[in-house]
A and B are shown apart, each in its own frame.
Chain A
Amino acid sequence: MKQHFVPGTHIQTKYNFFTGKGGTGKTSTAAASALSLADKGYEVLLVSTDPASNLDDLFTLNLNSEPTVIPEQRNLHAVNVEPETAAEAYRERVVGPYRGILPDSAVEQMEEQMSGACTVEIAAFDQFAGWLSDDARDLYDYFIFDTAPTGHTLRLLQLPGAWTEFFAENTTGASCIGPLSGLTEKQQGYEEAFERLKQVEETTMFFVARPAEAPLEEAARSAEELGDLGLTQQVLIVNGVHPLLEQEVKTEDEVSREFKQSQLKALQQKPEVLAHLTQYILHLKQQSVVNPATARELLTPGSGGEKLEMTSVPVSSTALETWVDEVLKAKQQLIFTMGKGGVGKTSTAATIAQLLADRGAPVLLASTDPATHWEDRDASSGTFAVRTIDPEKETEKYRAQVLASMEGELGEEGIAYMKEELASPCTEEIAVFYAFSRLVEQADDYYVVIDTAPTGHTLLLLDAAGSYHRELLEKTGDDQAIRRLLPRLRDPKQTAFLLVTLPEATPVYETERLQKDLIRAGLTPSTWLINQSLSAAVPQDSLLRARAAGEMTWINRAEQVAENVIVRPWQQQ
């Protein structure tokens, strides 16, 4: 059907970025490509800034920010930087000198200000910007990056006035500059890096996706977003395509047949934007990429060698129905499903709402996914209401509200100033947060099921700002919703968090990080739900059975880190 990806032929630029949702195999594809080019005799540097990167395991090495020669892999050098570690180092560079000089309360304030997602993003960009400089250009024939900057990062670096104003006077306008402040000396380097990313003869963006709707849509979104920013040399790689996709197998069971059908359907109906890109595929392999041999195998058409035998799902796994019964018994009227995009948190929220309604509870189901179309429905008993929070609309509404409330108070200049402030990327998070604090209030009367939750950082910000804003809240008194929110979220008697993930390396690592982040903010995320488990679906297809066997590592790991694990069988979406 489509052409299998061959790095030696299909990689045509010096700088190559592999990007995609967690679990699409971008690190594996990047590593395999780097190996393949090195095998051909080129000097290759593989750069990883993916926090869930398993490069260390893959090469059985402890990689760090200095290029390490991979033993026995000719010409291959690798760098691996955890963005959190980089962010930590960066934070320390800014805050460290003031420890013991400024009072502890002031140092804590600074630290919290710099522990947001923005800081981590910038720190990650900082890591690869160096390799894009003229100085590093001739050190290697190829640079392979297993992450790409997001549109958000690039816009953050581009914020109007973010650089110029800040350097000139440090007095006005520059929103969200906090995380950038320690990097002022690097401004020129960043501009150079950004320029390099835009040169079509120098840089290619490879979007790695699975043959499924959500990752393909995500790929389309980033392709569009990065394209708008001038990063136009783009290639799509669909990874994990069943080698017998279009072949009928007579003895096939339902799960195996549906698995192939869903892949085919996703590929046929993929977003328009992707149709214009050069496209390659990689076949689904029996085994995930765990070492250089399996990495090379990834690039070979077919399902690969060694067969694994499937075992069954651990018996300790709870059924979702049982979990819902417990929620009802405990009267936890606020339920969040959390996780990265594509793990099925929205459909999980809908399932939970339905289960609650079936049991006669009044339910309010809410989604922040603008693509969600739910209709109000009456359950057999009780109420079933749905709400959609559209982040874009909420942000617009919030902007308008703020500006309206300022009218008469501010002059023309003040308004212009506010407009620039409101263009900052933080605004959306806050606007959504508002919409959602109003929703949470409904949990007095309903079981409120929401398919997202604020990040730990937002909550900590809220908390830190609590003391500062308290006075004002008491004055205006109209923001009960916000004031009541945090204690409610932190009370496990009232609130249940369900962390939704997939039985694969990256999603499991990501969920571990999310769990840590939430615990840091004083929340209690006790249950994980693993979606789309092949082992729980018991397919007959030998390739799928081998994949199912591979899941066990990740299900076991989840069992170790989570109090309670729910495993849901693979089903067509």
Chain B
Amino acid sequence: MVLQVFDPAMCCETGVCGPEVDPELARVAGDISALKTKGITVERFNLGNAPAPFVETPAVKALLDAKGADVLPVVLADGKVVKEGAYPSQEEFEAWTGIKLKQLDESQSKGVDIKIR
């Protein structure tokens, strides 16, 4: 499974640099990094600094030509458009990849901090 996320031109991928932090963007960034640790290949392209893939990916290019930049973000799963105009929800990520994201987070963050002297 290869996921490709085509972002609109933005300063950074979480929106911390934007006019406000979009919790959605941060959540997406977190989900993506979690998916990667589970062996899913996720590629992210920002129109602002990597425009080439937008032109070289026919599905994305066609959407842009038809609907303009508002169509972004666009997500492809194994080359097929699965989402446009918005970021996928956690459930959508789970459905496409078969990886449970919620559990993954909890199991990771419930570690106990033991200090050895």
Contact = CB atoms under 8 A, between A and B. Distances in A.
Interface string B42-75: 1111111111001100000100110011101000
Contact of A426 (B17, B44, B104): B17
B17 A413 contact: no
Given A413-B108, A461-B19, A465-B18, A103 B64 contact: yes
Nearest to A106: B69
A462 B16 contact: no
Contact of A427 (B17, B46, B70, B108): B17
Interface residues of A, number: 54
Interface in B1-23: 8-14, 16-23
Interface stretch (B25-33, B76-84, B91-99): B25-33
Nearest to B5: A171
Nearest to A401: B21
Contacts of B31: 414
Contacts of A380: none
B8 A109 contact: yes
A105 B54 CA distance: 13
A541 to B, nearest CB: 50
B34 interface: yes
Contact of B49 (A178, A406, A462): A178
A180 B50 CA distance: 11
Contacts of A418: 14, 16, 26, 29-30
Interface in A174-232: 175-178, 180-181
A170 B13 CA distance: 12
Dominant SS among interface residues on chain A: helix
A110 B9 CA distance: 6
Given A102-B51, A482-B19, A413 B69 contact: no
Interface of B: 8-14, 16-24, 26-27, 29-31, 33-34, 36-37, 42-51, 54-55, 61, 64-65, 68-70, 72, 104-106, 108-109
Nearest 9 pairs of A and B residues by beta carbon: A414-B30, A181-B49, A411-B105, A426-B17, A113-B48, A105-B69, A109-B9, A410-B30, A105-B68
Interface of A: 94-95, 98, 101-106, 108-110, 112-114, 170-172, 175-178, 180-181, 402, 405-406, 409-415, 417-418, 421-422, 424, 426-427, 430, 433-434, 461-462, 465-469, 472, 479, 482
Given A426-B11, A482-B19, 8 more contacts: A106-B51, A109-B9, A112-B9, A170-B49, A175-B12, A412-B105, A421-B17, A430-B16
16 contacts: A106-B47, A106-B54, A106-B64, A108-B69, A171-B42, A171-B43, A175-B12, A175-B16, A178-B49, A412-B108, A413-B37, A414-B26, A422-B16, A430-B16, A462-B19, A479-B20
